[in-house]
């Protein structure tokens, strides 16, 4: 029901102020200089789940921890007519249901500068503080992740044209270029000349199409030394799915490439040995066996000594044939194992 004109005239500033304080969503307390509460609004009563009659006449800091009470007393002593306000954020409320409250304390002084009352206004900032705590945790996690990457991973970011906009510490350490020398250049500064042009054409076709590319690349450092990296390049996309840049993550694989090279050399030596056994050893053995067969067929009688000599030669040739077959099988098995 709207107020009559006469009622409006009756409402004074004190009534309006009291109504605003009572119905405010902020926690509001008016206390004496020795912190005895004279007024508590509805929000304060609801927050602490107590009636105003139970709170008025008690000390303001009785509803807080002992530490908070000490800080509150110290704060009051610091209030002066020149500096009448103070702010602090701390957890308030019933055990198990505490919230972060931003408190503003204002000292009210008389004309002589004597503190007469303390106005305390508390605003629930629990959501803001918890969001900030989550943000701080996330930032800490990201910093830890960045530190781990900088220690173990070579990473960089480029625009869509391949121009480097960011290179981490490990990138600079391995490439032996400073960050100023790297940024604004493309990765062609590291081109070792080892890979064919088609290798990079296929890489760019993949990432510009929005897909991830993986592969091993041999780079050339500033001092002319070569190093191998296993690379993963991922497109960076905006909310519309449009590629705006590329993130590259790499790990050094020099040791792996060295082992692969040694394995390749070992495999080549086995293949060479197999060729020798198959062609340069088994071929003359097979020839000897054929000649012995012809001699046995065309000679009817040759005496006991000649027969023993022939038997010895055949036995030796058969043994050599058996040994060469076993060696051939051994080499073939090793080649198969090396290729796995």
Q: What is the mean pLDDT of residues 33-60?
A: 90
Structure tokens of 338?
A: 């090396």
Q: Are 105 and 79 in contact (CB under 8 A)?
A: yes
Q: Which of 220-234, 243-257, 311-325 is the least confident region?
A: 311-325
* DSSP β-ladder status, 27-31 and 154-158: unpaired
Is the pLDDT at 247 greater than 90? The verdict is yes
pLDDT on residue 4: 47
Distances (CA, A) of 183 to 45, 132, 172: 60, 33, 10
* 100 or 195: which leads in pLDDT: 195
Model confidence at 324, pLDDT cuts 50, 70, 90, reads low
Distances (CA, A) of 22 to 15, 61, 78, 271: 10, 20, 28, 95
Most confident range, picked from 82-91, 140-149, 191-200: 191-200
Measured distance CA(170)–CA(147) in Å, rounded: 10
Model confidence at 283, pLDDT cuts 50, 70, 90, reads low
pLDDT on residue 126: 87
Q: Which of 119-128, 146-155, 226-235, 279-288 is the least confident region?
A: 279-288
Q: Are 110 and 116 in contact (CB under 8 A)?
A: yes
Measured distance CA(165)–CA(182) in Å, rounded: 9
Model confidence at 281, pLDDT cuts 50, 70, 90, reads low
Measured distance CA(302)–CA(311) in Å, rounded: 12
Q: What is the mean pLDDT of residues 144-156?
A: 80
Largest CA distance in the chain: 156
If you average pLDDT over every residue of the chain, what do you get?
80
Is the pLDDT at 95 greater than 80? The verdict is no
Q: Which of 22-36, 194-208, 285-299 is the least confident region?
A: 285-299
């Amino acid at each position: 029901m709207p107020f009559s004109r006469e009622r409006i005239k009756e409402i004074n500033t004190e009534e309006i102020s009291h109504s605003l304080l009572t119905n405010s969503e902020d926690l509001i307390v008016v206390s004496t200089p020795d912190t005895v509460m004279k007024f508590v609004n509805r929000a304060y009563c609801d927050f602490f789940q107590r009636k105003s009659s139970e709170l008025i006449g008690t000390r303001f800091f009785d509803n807080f921890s002992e530490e908070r009470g000490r800080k509150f007393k110290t704060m009051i002593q610091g209030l002066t007519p020149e500096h009448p306000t103070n702010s602090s954020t701390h957890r308030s409320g019933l055990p198990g249901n505490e919230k972060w409250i931003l408190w503003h304390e204002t000292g009210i002084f008389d004309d002589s500068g004597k503190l007469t009352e303390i106005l305390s206004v508390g605003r629930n900032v629990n959501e803001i503080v918890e969001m900030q705590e989550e943000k701080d945790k996330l930032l800490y996690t990201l910093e830890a992740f960045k530190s781990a990457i900088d220690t173990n991973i070579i990473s960089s970011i480029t625009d869509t044209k391949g121009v480097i906009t960011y290179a981490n510490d490990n990138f600079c350490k391995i490439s032996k270029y400073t960050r100023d020398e790297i940024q604004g250049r493309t990765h062609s500064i590291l081109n070792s000349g080892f890979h064919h042009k088609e290798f990079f054409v296929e890489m760019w076709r993949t990432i510009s199409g929005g897909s991830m590319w993986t592969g091993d690349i041999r780079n050339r450092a500033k001092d002319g030394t070569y190093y191998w990296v296993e690379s993963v390049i991922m497109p960076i996309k905006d909310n519309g799915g449009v590629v705006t840049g590329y993130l590259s993550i790499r790990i050094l694989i020099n040791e792996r490439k060295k082992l692969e090279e040694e394995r390749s050399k070992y495999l080549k030596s086995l293949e060479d040995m197999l060729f020798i056994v198959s062609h340069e050893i088994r071929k003359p053995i097979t020839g000897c066996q054929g000649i012995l067969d012809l001699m046995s067929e065309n000679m009817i009688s040759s005496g006991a000594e000649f027969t023993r000599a022939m038997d010895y030669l055949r036995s030796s040739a058969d043994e050599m044939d058996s040994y060469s077959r076993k060696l051939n099988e051994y080499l073939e098995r090793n080649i198969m194992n090396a290729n796995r």
